[in-house]
Structure 1
């Protein structure tokens, strides 16, 4: 005899608030597990930063006894603060320069009519698909011939223009209402007045998103400074972190983790300061 499900056995008889509550509990448990998985490496790095090699080899899961010693090695003996200052200057100049050139390129591609405009824009897109490593030797030769190798200008000037910034602002300006430029022309505004008084005020979210991306790009640069900078006083933070691998006799993990944690503070502060425009800027790009 076949058994037919009764009303009491049907899952649909379960009250909707109960099902919603169970779904919420499952979601919270999943989020807690994901947060734990994501935070576990950072917590472990914090523990290693307080330990010496012998404590780390014993897999000690509590803070060690070398916190002050590791900080002294990183900050005083290896001058990580100087390297971080060099990286901050380089990243700020690169991100600011790319924002300026990106705004001007977006203005030209959207609001100016000139022969070969689409061909030029296609060339920009081609450079967007090419990694920097392909042209780095040619770029080094140009910088060296101009006498900029080994200083801040050689680190920053080759990266002040960005295909990413040009493409981002071009897409953003192309989706703005066309009557903005028409109204500005009727009011007698020239292109630069239109840029500063109309386009920039409605583009702060995109500028904030681009600033975060390009600051991180400049902060994480390693290969280019390694080629162009010889004086240790001009090293950037990534070169300083590489030197921490030999902070003592052999490979010292404590100072290396301490330096990595300290070096992560400026990017975190930049992201927290620009978090709202960063998220809004990407939300605008997604909607478009």
Structure 2
């Protein structure tokens, strides 16, 4: 595992080294050791930017808002859906669950065009709603929460009913506190999923004001190659800036994330 980790860290190290050198350093090959131009490159990227590219701070903000909105929306939809499937008895309950589960097996190419067509018809093209709304449904989150709720002992449900707790009170005061590790794990997964979206923002938006940082890297590459000396140092710095927020979330939530996965494995 250590060897594999080191292997995957090599491109990251190259990006860090490249971000600390001027563009002219690449004319002599890829530098091996970090340089002293990180602050100068940072000012160029964050203040002036590359010509013809969206603002990097604005793209970072768009990505953060998109990832947070997608995460919150998925939780708000998946938790009640899984709660209803796990605790309520109604005709077709298992069929509904398996229909949701089957969507996990569909390639993204199958649903991509219909989702785009419906989004355009609903007026979601080239706005923030188009970035978020089509991504809110999550079969993975419904499946994970349903497994958690299905593991609850029936005695616990009966005891809550005897105490006069209705379904919503039971969900808020009993089910969700017991499912906190899973909530944290799903939140981390969905935040990284929302942050790393590339193809969907690229298709559903055309305005630079709605660009996300991941899709914006493509514009940075095109602009960097237009110089007499390609500005690969700036592109690498933008890529590192795009990497920081999801890494911070994963590291900050690591303990809860692992507990959530262990809870699912029981």
So what's the TM-score if we normalise by structure 1?
0.84
Structure 1 partner of 2:76: 100
2:15 matched to 1:39?
A: no
2:70 matched to 1:70?
A: no
So what's the TM-score if we normalise by structure 2?
0.90
Distance in 2 (CA, whole Å) between partners of 1:258 and 1:165 is 33
Q: Which has the higher contact order (CA 8 A, sep 6+)?
A: 2
2:246 matched to 1:270?
A: no
Question: Per the alignment, in what secondary structure is the counterpart of residue 177 of structure 2?
Answer: coil
- After TM superposition, give the deviation of residue 35 of structure 1 in Å: 5.0
Distance in 2 (CA, whole Å) between partners of 1:157 and 1:39 is 34
Structure 1 partner of 2:89: 113
Distance in 1 (CA, whole Å) between partners of 2:44 and 2:218 is 14
Count of residue correspondences = 257
Of 209, 213, 225, the residue aligned with 1:233 is 209
Question: Per the alignment, in what secondary structure is the counterpart of residue 178 of structure 2?
Answer: coil
Given that residues 70 and 135 in structure 2 are in contact (C-alpha distance below 8 angstroms), is that contact kept between their aligned partners in structure 1? yes
- After TM superposition, give the deviation of residue 133 of structure 1 in Å: 2.9
Structure 2 partner of 1:196: 172
Distance in 1 (CA, whole Å) between partners of 2:118 and 2:8 is 43
- After TM superposition, give the deviation of residue 36 of structure 1 in Å: 3.9
Please list, as runs of the form range in 1=range in 2, the aligned pairs for 1:1-288 lying within 5 A after superposition. Answer: 31=2, 33=3, 36-56=6-26, 57-64=28-35, 66-78=37-49, 79-248=55-224, 249-250=226-227, 251-287=230-266
Distance in 1 (CA, whole Å) between partners of 2:60 and 2:205 is 15
Given that residues 73 and 247 in structure 1 are in contact (C-alpha distance below 8 angstroms), is that contact kept between their aligned partners in structure 2? no
Distance in 1 (CA, whole Å) between partners of 2:175 and 2:203 is 38
Given that residues 88 and 219 in structure 1 are in contact (C-alpha distance below 8 angstroms), is that contact kept between their aligned partners in structure 2? yes
Given that residues 244 and 252 in structure 1 are in contact (C-alpha distance below 8 angstroms), is that contact kept between their aligned partners in structure 2? no
The structure-2 alpha-carbon separation of the partners of 1:37 and 1:222, relative to structure 1 and needing over 3 Å to count, comes to closer
Distance in 2 (CA, whole Å) between partners of 1:274 and 1:142 is 35
- After TM superposition, give the deviation of residue 220 of structure 1 in Å: 0.6
- For residues 134-164 of structure 1, the C-alpha deviation after alignment (integer angstroms, 9 at most, x for no partner) is 2111111111111121111111111112100
Distance in 2 (CA, whole Å) between partners of 1:92 and 1:34 is 31
Unaligned stretches of 5+ in structure 2? 50-54
Question: Per the alignment, in what secondary structure is the counterpart of residue 51 of structure 1?
Answer: coil
Given that residues 18 and 30 in structure 2 are in contact (C-alpha distance below 8 angstroms), is that contact kept between their aligned partners in structure 1? no
Given that residues 84 and 263 in structure 1 are in contact (C-alpha distance below 8 angstroms), is that contact kept between their aligned partners in structure 2? yes
Unaligned stretches of 5+ in structure 1? 1-29
Distance in 2 (CA, whole Å) between partners of 1:83 and 1:215 is 16
The structure-2 alpha-carbon separation of the partners of 1:240 and 1:198, relative to structure 1 and needing over 3 Å to count, comes to same
Given that residues 74 and 136 in structure 2 are in contact (C-alpha distance below 8 angstroms), is that contact kept between their aligned partners in structure 1? yes
- After TM superposition, give the deviation of residue 34 of structure 1 in Å: 5.2
- For residues 73-102 of structure 1, the C-alpha deviation after alignment (integer angstroms, 9 at most, x for no partner) is 321233211101101111111111111211
- For residues 199-232 of structure 1, the C-alpha deviation after alignment (integer angstroms, 9 at most, x for no partner) is 0000110000000100011001111111111110
